[in-house]
Structure 1
Amino acid sequence: MQRIGFAGLGLMGAGIASNILAAGHPLTALAHRRRDALEALLAKGAQEAESPRMLAQSSDIVFLCVTGAPQVAALVEGENGLVAGAHEGLMIVDCSTSDPALTRRLHAELAPLGVTFVDAALGGTPTQAEAGELQAIVGADEAILERLRPVLATWASKVLHVGPVGAGHTMKLLNNFLAMGYGAIFSEALTIGAKAGITPQVFDSVIRGSRMDSGFYRTFFQYVLERDRDAHRFTLDNAGKDTRYLAELAENLGVQADVAKAVKELYASAIAEGEGESFVPQLSDIVARRHGVSLSS
């Protein structure tokens, strides 16, 4: 069994790490901002690493599941980072929603050290992470993917090979652009409707079951209609980061992405109001409040 290291025991990472450990892989993990998830893993037989360097030294494969590109770079290249403990044959798999440019750079720079850096972005929810039913959206060559498959299978019900290194993160940004775009559209549509006398309940009676219905719509409206804050646990901070990365990617490719810029700016404005820890469906309340209406009454 491959020795697995794990950094990033957040909403998604804790579930992934738990499934890897349950499958019998020796697991070593770094503490997260809170130690709850780590303590639960330690109670089941995992080990704790005191630094990313120690994590690399004790692992064959290290999974990263952190907030974004700055955190990935710090874990890999920072003082006592993974590079400091790197050994021939080490594989680093970045499951974060990160910047594809950083992914490709780290892949190129680590290769001469005998270290393979690839991306396996996540599709799904924290509930699916706990159940081992995520999608792994992988950017890697075929040989590397085949080495990874047995471990990916412990937490992913579907492994999607989308291209070379960096393609996984690119596809994840496109996916999140669609999702966050719908979140922005739903929020503005609900506010326009409320100003015109159309309640969220009436709105839902038309959209639910129509061609515009979707899994994202259902969890978004579970909050709008039932005030269930935990129905869609993805923060505005993360949404803002992802839409910013997507807009930057488009700019670097020479694409005039006006819609992407507008979506990015809406999330950025909510974050600037101090709402970064709110979840995406709560954007509907933020937009409504700006226009003097309430969606909850």
Structure 2
Amino acid sequence: MTKPTIGFIGVGFMGHGMAKNIVENGYPLVTMAHRKRDAVDDLIKRGATEAKSPKEIAEQSDIIHLCVTGSPQVEANIRGENGILAGLRPGAIVIDCSTSDPVSTLTLKAEIEAAGGHLADAPLARTPKEAWEGTLDTMVGASPEVFEKIKPVLDCWAGVVVHLGEVGLGHKMKLLNNFLAMGYGALYSEALAIARLSGLTPQQFDSVIRPGRLSNGFYETFMKWTLDHDENAHKFAISNGHKDMRYLTNLCTAVGAVNPVQSAVKNSYAAMEAAGEGERYVPMLADFIARQNGLDPD
């Protein structure tokens, strides 16, 4: 049976590995460049073809992945003059793998369906390493019929695929997932500063936390910056963490949630981005909090 043609927009840290696994699993792949050509050139060598716009990708694709920064970028790629809607095939499926605002997601669902297509949200968990290995986690919002069609493609780049139900639930769950992750980052950063002020080194702190019940995969990659200055271990920008927490604040407002802890977490990332350090990675929040406490980064 002929495999569907897959379009992929957003071959950055996560998208490059995802797209690589799709083409290596025998799917025809169409992609496009944004700011850098390295990933696109690599994918072309592996068998992909290149388009010049989202419209061109849509004209050639049965299933289109979007893996971009957030809702403004998703909306621009779908609604733009040369966007996906301008070239969408009847019955085509758009999969938004970005961490997006669920309010925007539901609006786009209606617009895509009016154009004869379908939308699924399948945001990601884990890191570029797992994206390259094809072992990401994804939480999916889609109708049962759409999920059945996209599941084999998701299996190319994900080791854990959870179908939560209707469109929008994937993005809602992703915001909760990132709330926990960004919360860990804020907690670890503040705890490390208090430890140093109290006469404990980061190494002593780690010697107790790492082997104990409070350790986890996030902790392990987060601490690689503080302990080893490995800036590539946890490549997730402060600006993205702040963006995700703003989206979650919007969701909290929409559902009437009381969210004092989430507000505090958001403000940790807001403060670092406001200080001009939004492009640094989340583990480097520990340096920012250290400086706020009068400490030099260790």
Interval of TM-score (by shorter of Structure 1 and Structure 2): over 0.9
Shift of 1:295: 4.6
Q: Of the candidates 258, 267, 270, which is equivalent to residue 268 of structure 1?
A: 270
Deviation digits for residues 161-191 of structure 1, max 9, x if unmatched? Answer: 1121000011111000000001001111111
Structure 2 residue 294 is the aligned partner of structure 1 residue 287: no
Structure 2: which 5+ residue stretches go unaligned?
Answer: none
Shift of 1:103: 0.9
For 1:248-263, what aligned pairs fall within 5 Å after superposition? 248-263=250-265
Q: Of the candidates 61, 64, 74, which is equivalent to residue 63 of structure 2?
A: 61
Report % sequence identity: 50
Match of 2:202 in 1: 200
What is the alpha-carbon distance in structure 2 between the residues aligned to residue 219 and residue 135 of structure 1? 17
Match of 1:222 in 2: 224
What is the alpha-carbon distance in structure 2 between the residues aligned to residue 231 and residue 189 of structure 1? 20
What is the alpha-carbon distance in structure 2 between the residues aligned to residue 196 and residue 35 of structure 1? 48
Match of 1:42 in 2: 44
Shift of 1:36: 0.5
Match of 2:187 in 1: 185
Structure 1: which 5+ residue stretches go unaligned?
Answer: none
Match of 1:90 in 2: 92
What is the alpha-carbon distance in structure 1 between the residues aligned to residue 45 and residue 217 of structure 2? 35
CA contact (8 A) 1:123 1:135 kept: yes
What is the alpha-carbon distance in structure 2 between the residues aligned to residue 212 and residue 121 of structure 1? 26
Deviation digits for residues 192-216 of structure 1, max 9, x if unmatched? Answer: 1111112111111221121111011
Structure 1 runs (4+) deviating above 3 angstroms are none
Shift of 1:38: 0.3
What is the alpha-carbon distance in structure 2 between the residues aligned to residue 23 and residue 124 of structure 1? 21
What letter corresponds to residue 91 of structure 1 in structure 2? I
Deviation digits for residues 83-125 of structure 1, max 9, x if unmatched? Answer: 0011211110000001111111111222122110110111111
What is the alpha-carbon distance in structure 2 between the residues aligned to residue 19 and residue 220 of structure 1? 26
CA contact (8 A) 1:32 1:38 kept: no
Secondary structure, in 3 states, of the residue corresponding to 1:175?
Answer: helix
Shift of 1:277: 1.2
TM-score, with structure 2 as normaliser: 0.97
For 1:1-297, what aligned pairs fall within 5 Å after superposition? 1-296=3-298
Count of aligned pairs: 296
CA contact (8 A) 1:10 1:32 kept: no
